[in-house]
Chain A
């Protein structure tokens, strides 16, 4: 027997992975947000086929999101400077490194033709966009304000592309454009 409010499925399995959402209090529907694995109603479940279906739905949602962001021309990556084919090197960055890197580009404008790839979205990862630029570049340098090259690692995980040349700064301070220019000269050669 169906219970009141159970016609609405909080975790309805759909093609896009997105389930219609209501506001709690809506008549004839119950909003059941479950932390453990659940069925379409939002009730706890351990049934293997339901668990499998829910994992697929959940990750389908990320594909839908990436597709929609592409359709809406959301800037998943940004690009500055010379196009990859024309650049002596393409610098890969994320976040606040952008400011000093663009300033270093200006300092080095008479020495090198440089491009900058800024990754804006990390999850879902814009694999096609990133790979397209990296495979067209003559030389790639990862510039990050951390010890482990977090973005370079993510790029390798998501695309298989390994960035060998890296500049890391991890002394608790942001990049300084003049010092960065010197480092770039050494790395690019």
Chain B
């Protein structure tokens, strides 16, 4: 019997603020899993630290809740150990674009077949409203009481420039479109990146649902060609009165890292025999 979205509902008490954009991402994610008809045993949901980090608790799947900024390396390890698993790394704008940013260009460059979904609310939500790398210039936060004085980072351009093979942006106000992006990202051969505009109704007074509703438009409805890098690059810099969402760039001809690594290509690490390893001998050898 095919899966239904509620099959992935762990029925746990959800702690997000009422109206938070995370709810829509959770719903879209469960719907996408149902559409992909994945068995919970084959899904791994990896989250870091932030409000969004509770995602793994609300989905019936394997889950790893890891330290701040490190969903990408953990997801990479899981994928390389067992490429048969469908691995989703959930991150925040603080998690992925501040403390954990060093992992981002490399996972894109290596084309590890994980799916990175960033809940970008342009603020540190969990720690109660500090400025983040995507907070707009001028935004007042706990740490920028007179307004942020520097320009935000452009995650789409950063990931594109790093050689990513699937680059998309979603909006938490459009569940159907978000579901479509997650499904396409999952079907993608290598690393897939989705930055999601996620209203934080408690701490971000600029990026509200209304702000985005008035501005976002779908690339899919404009005849944008996602195989055209130059077009993607141009769209990556569009921000203001009009904000594109959808798939900026996609190419399926580049092999994923797990297809290239000799140790993994022959046989997943997970299938290697662990019997007969004498730890004591090693310890004797290596303790001084």
Contact = CB atoms under 8 A, between A and B. Distances in A.
A5 interface: yes
Interface in B42-64: 42, 44, 49, 53-54, 56-57, 60-64
Nearest to B68: A35
B230 interface: no
Interface string A24-45: 1111111111111000001110
B280 A74 contact: yes
B85 interface: yes
Interface in A38-79: 42-44, 72, 74-75
Contacts, number: 69
Interface string B3-18: 0000100111000000
B44 A24 contact: yes
B63 A32 contact: yes
B260 interface: no
B280 A72 contact: yes
Interface residues of B, number: 31
Chain A at the B interface: SS class: loop
B200 to A, nearest CB: 20
Contacts of B287: 75, 120
B65 A98 contact: no
A35 B66 contact: yes
B85 to A, nearest CB: 6
Interface in A118-161: 120
A44 B57 contact: yes
A177 to B, nearest CB: 16
Most-contacted residue by chain B among A5, A25, A28, A99 (CB, 10 A) = A25
B41 A29 contact: yes
Interface string B248-288: 00000000000000000000001000000000100110011
Nearest to B283: A74
Given A25-B270, A72-B280, A74-B283, A33 B65 contact: yes
B78 interface: yes
B82 interface: yes
A96 interface: yes
Given A25-B82, A74-B280, 13 more contacts: A4-B40, A24-B82, A26-B41, A27-B41, A30-B61, A30-B62, A30-B63, A32-B63, A33-B64, A34-B57, A43-B10, A75-B284, A98-B288
28 contacts: A3-B60, A4-B7, A4-B40, A4-B60, A5-B41, A5-B60, A24-B62, A25-B41, A25-B42, A25-B84, A25-B270, A28-B41, A29-B41, A30-B40, A30-B41, A30-B63, A34-B57, A35-B49, A35-B53, A35-B67, A36-B65, A44-B54, A44-B57, A74-B283, A75-B284, A96-B288, A98-B288, A120-B287
Interface of A: 3-5, 23-36, 42-44, 72, 74-75, 95-96, 98-99, 120
